[in-house]
Amino acid sequence: MNSIVAFGNTFITLTLSVLSLALLLVYLPPQGRQLLRITTRFWPAALVLIAVSGLMFAAAPYLWAPLLTVANMSNVGACLVLALIAAAWNGRASRRMYASLGIAFAVAVAVFEFWRQGGAATFETRVYFVCLARAVLTAWMIAELRQFNRQEQSNQIRMLMAFGVLYIAANLARATATALTGDGTAPNLYSEGAVPFATRIFILAMQLFIALSFNNYFVEKLWRQERHARLRHQLLFEGSPAAGIIWNDRLQVTGWNDEATRLFGWTQAEALGRRASELLFLPDDQASAERRLRALFEAPTAKGIVVEVHSKDGRTIACEWSHRPMPGDTGRPHEVVSMALDVTDRLSRQRQLEAEHGAAIDRMSQLADQVGQSEHSLQQLREHLEIAARSVGMGLYLRDFTQEHLWVSDRYREMHGFSADEPLTPDVTQARIHPEDLEGYLAAREVAIKTGENSAEFRIVLPDGRVRWIAAHGRIKTDASGAPILTRAVTIDITDHKIAALELARQQREVAHLSRVVVLGELSGALAHELNQPLTAILSNAQAAQRFLSADPVDLVELRDILDDIVSEDQRAGEVIKRLRQLLSTGETQRVSLDLNELLSDTVRLLRSDLLSQQVALHTDLAPGLPLVWADRVQLQQVLINLVMNACEAMRELPAAERRLVLRTSAQAGGGVQLSVVDCGCGLPREQPERVFESFYTTKPGGMGLGLSVCRTIVQAHGGRLWAEGHEGPGASFHVSLVAHTASAS
Amino acid sequence: MNKSTVYLVDDDPGVLKALSRLLRTEGWSVSAFASAQAFLDALPQDALGCVVLDLAMPGMDGRALHNELVARGSVLAVIFLTGHGDLATGIAAMKTGAVDFLSKPVNDAQLLAAVRTAVERSRAAHADAAEVQELQQRLAKLTPREREVMQLVVAGLLNKQIADALGTVEKTVKVHRARVMEKMKARSLAELVRLADRAGRER
């Protein structure tokens, strides 16, 4: 049996030595440096414990035998610290955990010491205790390491785990051998003379090194995690208007912001480390809550889910939740960030409104049913009904199909602009509806006949031409064949609300539009100014060259110099143009699907005063029902303005009575849309009508010759075509063709 | 022979080079500067000729430079060049005494004509200034008594009346008068009146 004990001891020793060397080789480059660095509060504890145990192991045989016991204690303590570090890395260690383990360890030591002092503890029991304690703690460490390795997938961790398994095996072997022999004094590493003193010191140093490497590895991880966590808190939590919670795959809360405290009532200290399901859901709902939270881990980002949760004091809070997984170091999510907005008020208001509306309809339906049943109190009931409806500003509409009878309340008449005694028929009331909204109204009614109930919003036109917005909710009773018997509807005037909303939207559009027009205008202004410099240089150089040529003899060197300068200045001008083109074609454009006719009418409105002052008669010839085009409103407007202004310029020489401008839109055979600007002015250069599109070609005295070239760039960027056409008589036509915007194109 | 210089001030080197080249073909001597400050630093006290100024320049712009020249009492005539022919700026420039206001790109004939006019005006201004200076030197040579006599002579008084006014005799006035005519280099009474008038106006 001695041989087994000796084997156990030697096994521990060899394991330690071999693994020390292996770890030394694996870790030395980065970890060797880390050895010298004090990084966090964790490693001094392990260092002290292991150093103390090492020293005592080494000294005990020479000094005082009981020291060995203390050494064993520190050794077990070191195992505990390491296991705790592993746990901390996995985000599981909490203050509670440290405290309970510390207390458990202290109690164990106290019990053991008491036992030993009482003489009950033999050397063998001490061996059992120490070996088993080591084995249990190491097993715990391995469990944590496994967890760690699931995310980390590192060979170092695997090696440490293997070492842990061997260490457990060795300790169990030692304990078993001791039990079998009943003698713990079998020769081992620490027996005097078993191995030379220097070897023992070396092995102890190795043991120290392993512990430190192992420790530093985790320390580094911890440190990184801590920094990461700080950053996370700063970014997401501090000052966030939404309540924020971070929780891990075990549903434990690892982050909790101030707003979460305000909303849910739990302080940060209370919340951290507890299960999210526990904090936010009632005890009865735990199972389903946990299931749903776990499902979030599998599903990616989820947004805008309304879930009711409970605060600390039991209030029910409806929250709109957004969840986002936080990828760990390996990319797999290891935590989920949940942000919640309190929508309780919003939701309850909405429900209240729905309920009110529903109640009003119900009450009215009941009353209306009574109308049918008790003929004699009809007038009375109607009055009753009307008072109820009027109090909430609603108009009432009742139509009995069987008796071809229509009754509306006074408020309804007021709303629709009927006088109190005007006889009404369904056709008369329907005639009030705005022609553009009639189709939608009839469709909504069809739905109501099928489903029995429906709502619609539409405009009505009053006799004096004013337009009001009406929201109506109706119920239609049908007979067995599906033909309507009775229609009951309430109407509310929502004009003010609607106008405000439309006005707001219009203003927003207008502001966006204007700012872009301004930007584009300033841009072209700035570029035109920039073009002036190279153009000035080119002109002056060219004219200087002309003068040189008339001199005798001609200075060819100077002439060559001049030509070089002209070329380079021309290139500079080209750069400016190129930049302009880039800005227009790839720059910030906002394509929307738009109606060319509408754009044209808008633009004409913009140009009206110019046309008037230039005494140009404008004729528009717009084809109805054109397909929409996908284009940037501002840019297309620029093209149109440019073409119209050009046409006006071209007609400047004509007598005012002959200045006619025609704007025409038409659908093209291929599904495209064409826009034509036709003038009767000076026309195009006869030989090369295409020249007008070249940069710097101009017939106007103050012109830069850029307008049409820029227009063509814009149109081409829209996938369209811009071309010019001379007339038989005076004038010219400019045509823009654009492809229609189909659903698939978007 | 063109003794006057055309000074060019424009922040664009390409424009500067082209314009100086164009002006040199006409035989002008050209000094080109890339900024208003460089021009002011290099400007001699009694510079003669014209300045072709770009209106829009970083740092001191054309208008500011023109005002500075006027403040220094320079006889240089100014022609403005501008990127965009802004009428209001043009009018303002002409009011402060610019010779011309041209917009870029500028035609050679236009520019050269403007430069010719400007140089002539500058020369005239210079000659004018020289004459006034000369007259003032002559005036300085007169004694206080002679100056009194001259003022009265120019005012059209007879020798006798002058003598009465100054409390002296006609003979003494005659001597003073002869000295005045000599010092002022006036050959006749009419010339003396003109010279005194000119010197007096400029004083």
Alpha helices in A233-285 (DSSP H): 258-264, 268-271, 276-280
What is residue B110's predicted lDDT score, i.e. its pLDDT?
Answer: 87
Q: Does residue A195 contact residue A179 with C-beta atoms inside 8 Å?
A: no
Q: Write the residue in A533, A534, A543 that is nearest to B108 by C-beta.
A: A543
B86-96 confidence digits (pLDDT tens) = 667 777 777 77
Residue A559 and residue B41: Cα distance in Å, rounded?
32
Q: Residue with structure tokens 């005082």?
A: A64
Which whole-number Å values give the CA distances from A400 to A151, A280, A358, A477, A570, in the listed order?
72, 53, 22, 10, 83
The CA dihedral of B123, B127, B129, B131, to the nearest 10 degrees, is 180
- Read off the tokens for A190: 């620490």
Beta bridge partners of A543: none
Closest among A692, A592, A673, A599 to A641, alpha carbons compared: A599
B107:A543 CB<8 A = yes
Tell me if B81 sits within 8 A of B55, measured CB to CB: yes
CA distance A713 to chain B (A): 25
CB-nearest to B18 from A541, A547, A551 is: A541
pLDDT in tens, B111-143: 899 999 888 888 888 888 778 888 888 888 888
Q: Please answer yes or no on whether A538 and B26 come within 8 Å at the CB atom.
A: no
Q: Given this model, what pLDDT does residue A719 score?
A: 84
Q: Which chain A residues touch B26 with a CB distance below 8 Å?
A: 547
Cβ-contact A659, A644 below 8 angstroms: no
Helix (H, G, I), strand (E, B) or coil at A68: helix
Which residues from A are below 8 Å from B when comparing CB atoms?
528-529, 532-541, 543-544, 546-548, 551, 558, 562, 565, 568-569, 572
Parallel/antiparallel/unpaired status of strands A467-478 and A484-493:
antiparallel
Alpha carbon distance B79, B51 (integer Å):
6
Structure confidence at residue A276 (pLDDT)? 86
Phi/psi of residue A100, each to 5°? -65, -40
Q: How far apart are CA A26 and CA A208, in angstroms?
A: 16
- The candidate with the shortest Cα–Cα distance to A210, out of A62, A12, A73, A5, is A12
Contacts of residue A157, Cβ cutoff 8 Å, sequence gap at least 6 = A145, A148, A149
Mapping DSSP onto H, E and C, the string for B31-63 reads EEECCHHHHHHHCCCCCCEEEEEECCCCCCCHH
From the CA of B113, how many Å to the nearest CA of chain A? 14
Q: Which residues of B touch A544 (CB under 8 A)?
A: 18, 21-22, 24-25, 108
Residue listed under structure tokens 């145990």: A53
Pull the structure tokens for residue A556. Answer: 């060819």
- pLDDT for A24 equals 44
Partner-chain residue, chosen from A537, A547, A551, that has the shortest CB–CB distance to B18? A537
Contacts of B104 in chain A (CB under 8 A): 532-533, 535-536
Of the candidates B134, B181, B122, B127, the residue with the CA atom closest to the CA atom of residue B154: B181
For residue B122, report the phi and psi dihedrals to the nearest 5 degrees.
-65, -40
Provide the 8-state DSSP code for A402.
Answer: T
Distance CA A123, CA A129 (A): 10
Q: Which of A12, A367, A446 is nearest to A188 (CA)?
A: A12
Contacts of B96 (CB under 8 A, 6+ apart): B63, B66, B67, B70
Contacts of B106 in chain A (CB under 8 A): 536, 539-540
Q: Which residues contact B56 (CB under 8 A, 6 or more apart)?
A: B62, B82, B83
Dist CA A516 CA A591 (whole Å): 13
φ/ψ of residue A159, rounded to 5 = -65, -40
Adjacent-strand bridge partners of A322: A339
Distance CA A600, CA A666 (A): 12
CB contact B19 to A (< 8 Å): yes
Which residue of chain A comes nearest to B104, CA vs CA?
Answer: A536
| Contact by Cβ (8 Å): A91, A229 | no
Distance from C-alpha of A252 to C-alpha of A274, rounded to nearest angstrom: 5
CA distance B97 to chain A (A): 25
Asked if B108 and A547 come within 8 Å (Cβ–Cβ), the reply is yes
Return the pLDDT at A114: 59
pLDDT, averaged in runs of 10, over chain A (746 residues): 52 53 43 36 53 57 55 60 58 55 64 58 65 74 69 65 75 72 52 51 57 54 51 52 78 82 86 85 83 76 73 84 62 70 72 66 62 55 65 75 80 85 84 87 85 82 87 80 81 75 58 46 58 85 86 82 89 76 56 85 72 81 87 80 82 84 88 88 74 64 60 83 83 88 50
B17 touches chain A (CB under 8 A): yes
Mean pLDDT, chain B, rounded, equals 83
Peptide bond into A553 cis (omega under 30): yes
- pLDDT attached to residue A642: 78
A369-373 — which CB contacts under 8 Å span 24+ positions?
A: A371/A398, A372/A400, A372/A486
Q: Helix, strand, or coil here: B76? A: coil
One-letter amino acid at A438 equals: L
Helices and strands (H, E) in chain B, number of each type:
9, 5
Rounded Cα distance, B40 and B53, in Å: 12
Alpha carbons within 13 angstroms on the beta-carbon side of residue A617 total 8
Q: pLDDT confidence of B9, banded at 50, 70, 90?
A: very high
Structure tokens given for B165: 């006014």
Which of B21, B23, B87 is the best mutation test for A, with the most CBs of A within 10 A? B21
- pLDDT of res. A665: 92
Contacts of B21 in chain A (CB under 8 A): 540-541, 544, 558, 562
The complex scores an ipTM of 0.71
How would you classify the pairing of strands B29-33 and B5-9?
A: parallel
pLDDT of residue A56: 58
Chain A residues touching residue B14 (CB < 8 angstroms):
533-534, 537, 565, 568-569, 572
Secondary structure letter of residue A628 according to DSSP: P
**Pairs of CB atoms within 8 A across A/B:** 72
